[in-house]
Amino acid sequence: MDFSRITVLCVGDVMLDRFVYGDMERISPEAPVPVLLLNKRTEMPGGAGNVASNVISLGGRAILIGLVGEDDAAITLRDTLRLRAQVSEMLVPTPRRPTICKTRFIAAHQQVVRADEESRLPLQADEAELLCQAIDARLEEADVVILSDYGKGVCDQMVVHHLIGEARLRDIPVFVDPKTPDFRHYRGATCITPNAKELAAASGMPVSDNASVEAAARKVMARAEADAILATRSEKGMMLVPAEGEAIAVPARAREVFDVSGAGDTVIATMALAVGSGMAFDQAMRIANAAAGVVVAKLGTATADIGEVMRELQAQDEPEEAPHLLTLTQAKRQVADWKAHGLTVGFTNGCFDIIHPGHISLLAAARSACDRLIVALNDDASVRRLKGETRPVNTLASRAAVMAAIRSVDAVAAFSEDTPLEIIRELMPDVLIKGSDYRPEDVVGAAEVIAAGGRLVLADLRDGHSTTATIGRIQGL
């Protein structure tokens, strides 16, 4: 899957996404609001700019057209775009409005408040003319067009009709991420990609199941004279409804969702690149579905690279015999993802042959010491060496399935050695948790974790419970 020769013309509402991070330490004496002590700020292209970022992250090239003000935010936005070598910008400056800027204040991995800078002034005739001139100057270079409508003014009737009309004259497919509920505004588009809420608003119909989604999509598709509607449905996946042929639905793969910001940008960028490279709509949708699965597992306005998408596609095709048990490679990737999101990762291990209240108590205490907990199980051969030939009672697959179902546990892996030292070294958790019946100097891996800046927690145990005692009682029946 190579998109390196595909150029996407991205037209729409360009904005600056700013993320300001800090710690909430106290409540203000002036008002009942938290005081945020700021410690980090990041800035990146948002809106249509994020679409362009997704295009280049997936290996393509992008031309970005939109409006900016004559202000510091425009300078910052252009600076962020210069760092993206595969993006060519044709941003039109205007003195009538500020550059759209969304500033999100984040503490403890949660968004506290968002502050928006923008103008609600309708697009002026001279601004529309300059945008159309920019489109005409670069359209011949494009293999495919994306119209990214965030309802901020750029996608008014003159610009949209000019863009779609000129693209269709050249047989260039046009993909639209809509905002207005009247899809006649996008008449002639190749594919429109509403989410479920947008589709319901545009059609005036329910979208609760596959049949109702298809009916709603066909209604708005006829109004827009489009070739296809791609309805994105969050945890329910996607449905492609072509003007000719049957609708096709694909489910979303179950996974941890950190943030849905920008997922629609990823979907439309992937669809455009895939169709622009010659793929059929249904094939492009499956790739877009995988790309969306990648970005919702990231925090903030995110993109997916082609390697991540290929791994997600492979994961979707893998058999589901034991989806609860991660390989070491998968566990390392999961731990790295959690740490990249600023989450503390805890680790504990054991045979966990027959789960009892003592185990549940330990796991709950372990989870309270971290943001995410990974449990490493001794494999069957390791259990036999430690406990004798009659153990384990339950196989590794069975033990992993039960462990993964426990609320306190976020991931399960396994190790074949007699001690978990190697897997601890590979995963390098932030917190290592064992029961309080251990002495710190006896905990395998504690020295390595502490040397790397982590900590050891010895959790209190619930007395009177053990797997050996449980087996003894069963045998005595």
Mapping DSSP to helix (H, G, I), strand (E, B) and coil, where does residue 428 land? coil
Is 328-475 a domain of CATH 1.10.10.10?
Answer: no
Tell me the pairing of strands 372-378 and 411-415.
Answer: parallel
pLDDT digits (tens, 9 = 90+) for 21-36: 999 888 999 999 889 9
**pLDDT grade, residue 258 (50/70/90)?**
very low
Cα 393 to Cα 352: distance, rounded to the nearest angstrom: 10
Per-residue pLDDT of 98-140, as tens digits, reads: 999 999 998 877 788 999 999 999 999 999 999 999 999 999 9
Whole-prediction pTM: 0.70
Distance of CA 29 to the CA centre of its chain: 38
pLDDT of amino acid 223: 95
CA quadruple 323, 325, 327, 330: dihedral sign: positive
Question: Shortest CA distance to 353 belongs to which of 398, 416, 314, 315?
Answer: 398
Nearest residue to 461 via CA among 424, 436, 434:
436
- Supply the mean pLDDT for the chain: 89
Evaluate if residue 308 carries a pLDDT over 60. Answer: yes
Whether the per-residue pLDDT at 261 is higher than 80: the answer is no
Task: For the beta carbon of residue 390, count every other beta carbon within 10 angstroms.
Answer: 9
Mean pLDDT of 232-256: 83
Domain boundaries, the chain: 7-317, 328-475
- The type of residue at 1 is M
CATH class of 7-317: alpha beta
Q: Which of 265, 379, 410, 430 is catalytic?
A: 265
**Residue 265 falls in the annotated catalytic set:** yes
**Residue 254: pLDDT above 80?**
no
Tokens of 475: 């045998």
Q: Kindly give, in sequence order, each residue whose CB lies less than 8 Å from that of residue 44, ignoring residues fewer than 6 positions away.
A: 16, 17, 50, 53, 80, 301
CB-facing half-sphere around the CA of 179: CA atoms within 13 A: 17
C-alpha 239/C-alpha 251 separation (Å) is 9
pLDDT digits (tens, 9 = 90+) for 412-424: 999 999 999 999 9
Percent of the chain topping pLDDT 90: 70
> pLDDT band for position 320 (50/70/90)?
very low
Query: What is the tens place of the pLDDT at every residue in 74-104?
Result: 999 999 999 888 999 999 999 999 999 999 9
| Cα of 369 vs its chain's centroid, Å | 26
Cα 302 to the center of its chain, rounded Å: 7
